[in-house]
Amino acid sequence: MMSDQCSPAAAGGTIGLRPIPVTVIGGGIGGLSVALSLLDAGAVAAADITIVDANPGSGRLHTYTGRLGHVCELGAGRYSPRLHPRLDALVTRFGIDTAPHVFTIKYQSGQAEADEFSAMDLAGLDGQGSFYDALAGSLGMARADRFCSLTGYEAIRDRRFPVAGGMDVISTHPEAFRSAAHRSAWVAPATGFTGLVDALRDYLVDQGVTILHSTRLVAAETCPQGLDLEFLTSERRRLHRVTEQLVLAIPPVELLSLRLPVHPKVFGWLPDLVTVPLFKGFLTFREPWWQDSDLDGCCVVTDNELQKLYFDTGRRTIYFYCDSSNSNFWATLRSAGDSVFRDTLEAKIEQAVGRELPDLKHAEELVSRHWPIGITYLEHGTAFDSTGCLRIAERIQFSTGAFTGNPGWIEGVLANASLLASGLNAPAKGRAGRRHVVAGRAKTTGATCRYTSQPTRIRRHKPSEDHAGSRA
């Protein structure tokens, strides 16, 4: 839905005849949830919100539906209603059906070690260092490395990953050996997370929110009415509009490409952010030939580059999900050609399960996606105060799940959007550019990010020579 007032065809390349109260940059789950939160909070009318989406369908939620109806979640794949109540409420609100996401955990090797680590008392893992350093201090480096590998998440081996974040991964993620109490509660949208995004977008349009597609923000300048925004369309046309408030719901790495009326020091917090690459790959089949075998409904935590290998009987797929250096391994392999990628994948799967699987050759489709910037989180030791979002200028706010207690999860994005909406019309506290963060469990004041601790400084995840360094 696009009103005449905001049509890109407006005369003279200017969008709009009056200032728009709120412009949201980003049409993924982040931007859409900001708009929904604004409406739910009564902060602004639907007709006064415009969402600008540079790359429709490019967000971190990506469902691929195969030619035989296979549902392949190439982005976010599951959630826990108990751990992610905001997301569960959103799924319920829009009538999205869910199915259990429950797997029996097996190990390529190391079942006895996993049992030992599961029973181990880790209450003493605290302090201001990284999760890996704290773990190595308790177990020694060799056993700490093995501990991390058996979780199926290599990112916790990174010396920038905070203690609280590591404890969260090993205690709640359904594949981790210490998460048995939570494992049966996880679910996934039956037709994929893209259906949730589509339902949310349709709702906002029906309410009167304007969405501009294939249009990218280039610059913003102050003007008497607020901010003069410059856009570039997919046809390379430059357009201008004026807005009173600008919300940037985009990945942090994209901030520096914008020309904004702020001092460069406002972005001095960017080096505090660490990004983790992710990779997911799916093989689809007409029938789940592994059904009623020892692989039926199993997640195999592997000793090779697959990390986590799932035999999803209900969806008739075999897929793997890895992070950090392993994700780059598969991305490089895929660039070498389909045959090399497929042959290596089949060999790694057989290696992980310990036997030949001739039916792997009969896959209907092989689909995959590499996310160079999959998860963004705050380096351990970074402190932010918590008023809801990052206000980088009087009329510009930045919304990201990276500053929450649930970085990398939709829940964190929804938490930040809710607090942003509740405080959008409140006067900015402190000087522009002051750093803010919200808590995973939303308190409007006095909360701290669950993944951070005390003050210390987007860099990409770059494993050290002896330590590879996810979370799903």
| pLDDT tens readout for residues 333-392 | 999 999 999 999 999 999 999 999 999 999 999 999 999 999 988 887 665 544 447 888
Helix runs in 290-398, H state only: 324-335, 338-353
Q: Does pLDDT of 320 surpass 90?
A: yes
pTM equals 0.85
pLDDT category at 295 given cuts 50, 70, 90 is very high
Low-confidence winner among 82-96, 134-148, 205-219, 413-427 (lowest mean pLDDT): 413-427
- Number of other residues whose CB lies within 10 A of the CB of residue 107: 20
Q: Is the pLDDT of residue 445 over 80?
A: no
Q: What is the separation, in whole angstroms, between the first and last Cα of the chain?
A: 34
Q: Could you tell me the pLDDT band of residue 119, with boundaries at 50, 70 and 90?
A: very high
Degrees, nearest 5: CA angle 228-207-210: 25
Taking only the tens place, the pLDDT of each residue in 40-93 is 999 899 999 999 999 877 678 999 999 999 999 999 999 999 999 999 999 999
- Reported in sequence order, the residue ranges of 61-180 that DSSP labels E, i.e. its strands, are 63-65, 71-73, 98-100, 104-107
Q: What is the pLDDT of residues 165-224, one digit of tens each?
A: 899 899 999 999 988 877 888 999 999 999 999 999 999 999 999 999 999 999 999 999
Give every CB contact of residue 392 below 8 A, 6+ residues apart in sequence.
248, 260, 262, 266, 267, 398, 432, 433
Q: Is 46 exposed, middle or buried (0-12, 13-18, 19+ CB in 10 A)?
A: middle
Residues facing 23 on adjacent strands: 50, 246
From the number of C-beta atoms within 10 Å of its C-beta (0-12, 13-18, 19+), residue 191 rates as middle
- How far apart (Å, rounded) are the C-alpha atoms in residues 454 and 371? 30
Q: What pLDDT does residue 383 have?
A: 59
Cβ neighbours, 10 Å, residue 129? 18
Instruction: Give me the DSSP letters along 192-257.
Output: -HHHHHHHHHHHHHHHT-EEEESEEEEEEEEETTEEEEEEEETT--EEEEEEEEEEE-S-GGGGGG
